[in-house]
Chains A and B, each alone.
Chain A
Amino acid sequence: MLDSPRLKSASIAVRRDPLIVEDLRSTTVSDDPVQRRDLILIERARAGDLDAFNDLVRLYQDSLFALVVRMVPDRDQASDAVQEAFFSAFRNLHGFRGGNVKSWLNRICVNAAMDTQRLRKRRPSQPYPELEDESWQPPAGDDVDPERIAVTAERSRVINEAMTRITGDQRAAIILYDVEGYDYGEIADMTGVSLGTVKSRIHRGRLALRGILQDRMDLFRG
């Protein structure tokens, strides 16, 4: 009975499965130099090297701030949320279980931003007081045509302002999907809601944005 071919093949299949998983994992990590660098920094930071952690902070603080400030329209609150996220990342270095370091940091920042949004609901503050401020980053691209620069700046101003007028949940879902490029499942995982809720937030949020910007859509067309 123990020598039956069915049992033999079953035991072989059981032994092979973990090997396949391990191969995939090592390939994924070693093929990406950025990922490898981040993992080395994480390992050093875990061993107590503060400089290694600060190297990670320097690498990602701009993109993480850009993510959070889109979700939390108040710049100071966004800044506090990013700081808190880095604190949280440092405290939980040993909780990092491999994979993409940027995704891990993004996830922590999204949680911090959502906590801040929840707090804002209770204590609302003035949204985007510095829209006219020169400290706003210019949009990507080497556009030198002044008219185009003006249009792009106006487009940014208008869309950012409209984003502050949709709900925080819709804003977070749209940013994670359209800007950060996460898929529905990942967003559901990050925000702790169902896939259907994520879709609904994205679609309703888009419709709300279009409703707010109905009179300014000429800026975005063609």
Chain B
Amino acid sequence: MADAGIMPVGHARHDGLLIASTVDRRLATPSTLAQALLTACTECARLHDDLLALAAALPSAATPRRTRDYTLSAADAERLRPRGLTRWLRYIGSSRDTLTRPLAIGFTTLGLAGLLVTTVPGALPGGGATAGAGASVAPQIEMQGAASPNGGLPQAAPGNGDAAARAPLAEEGIPPVVVLSGVFLATGGGLFAARRVVPGRTRAKATIR
């Protein structure tokens, strides 16, 4: 036998898990080593037969009788019916929910588009190009050793005309478009997340056995 060389001597050293894995109704053919063990070792063969017998006996083993009726009373139903926010949360992601997905996509798209627009220099009148301008000005600021104390927003550097012209932008704070884009993005993301993690939602497989 080709596998006799790799087979350990003595049943105690044989792989019981390997034998157990051969008791699989869906396994077409056991591995070569398992086959060698089953052929050469009577204890392994016996173990295999025992495991098969147990697997066959299990489905027909008696179970206790049900002692209770599980039908729901009208009061149970009333208590269990979701209300208010819970009802809305359960609606999200359910098969009847045709609203939240397009809403989530819409909000996310608007948010991304808003952020994109604000990063393009000169795309918005006034303070629209903050991010892009900030990014291009920042290296100059750093080179002059004028690092911003409040989160890296560019400060006006003396003698730098371009940066000085943009100083009012920094003082204005975050432009409303950016804030709005952030809100849209957060809402869209939140709706997507809610669709995935609605509490108690149970996914059923479409397989019929």
Contact = CB atoms under 8 A, between A and B. Distances in A.
B199 to A, nearest CB: 9
A90 B81 CA distance: 8
A165 interface: no
Interface residues on B, range: 35 or more
Given A96-B95, A203-B17, A83 B206 contact: no
Interface stretch (B43-51, B131-139, B163-171): B43-51
Q: Please report whether the interface of chain B is mostly helix, strand, loop or mixed according to DSSP.
A: loop
Q: Which of A28, A82, A156, A203 has the most chain B CB within a 10 Å cutoff? A: A203
B91 A189 contact: no
Contact of B208 (A28, A159, A186): A28
A103 B204 contact: yes
Interface in A73-111: 75, 78-79, 82-83, 86-88, 90-92, 94-101, 103-104, 107-108, 111
B200 to A, nearest CB: 5
Given A58-B71, A135-B64, A183-B26, A25 B57 contact: no
Query: How large, as a class, is the contact surface on chain A?
Result: 35 or more
Interface in B174-209: 198, 200-209
A120 interface: no
Interface in B77-121: 77, 80-82, 90-91, 93-96
The winner among B63, B67, B69 for most chain A CB atoms within 10 A is B63
A57 B63 contact: no
Contact of A103 (B20, B55, B57, B205): B205
B82 A199 contact: no
A173 interface: no
A209 interface: yes
Interface of A: 25, 28, 32, 35, 50, 53-54, 57-58, 61-62, 65-66, 69-70, 75, 78-79, 82-83, 86-88, 90-92, 94-101, 103-104, 107-108, 111, 130, 133, 135-141, 152-153, 155-157, 159-160, 174-175, 178-179, 181-183, 186, 189, 199-200, 202-204, 206-207, 209-210, 213, 217, 220-221
13 contacts: A75-B67, A79-B66, A86-B72, A90-B76, A92-B90, A100-B206, A100-B207, A107-B204, A133-B64, A137-B64, A178-B58, A207-B16, A210-B50
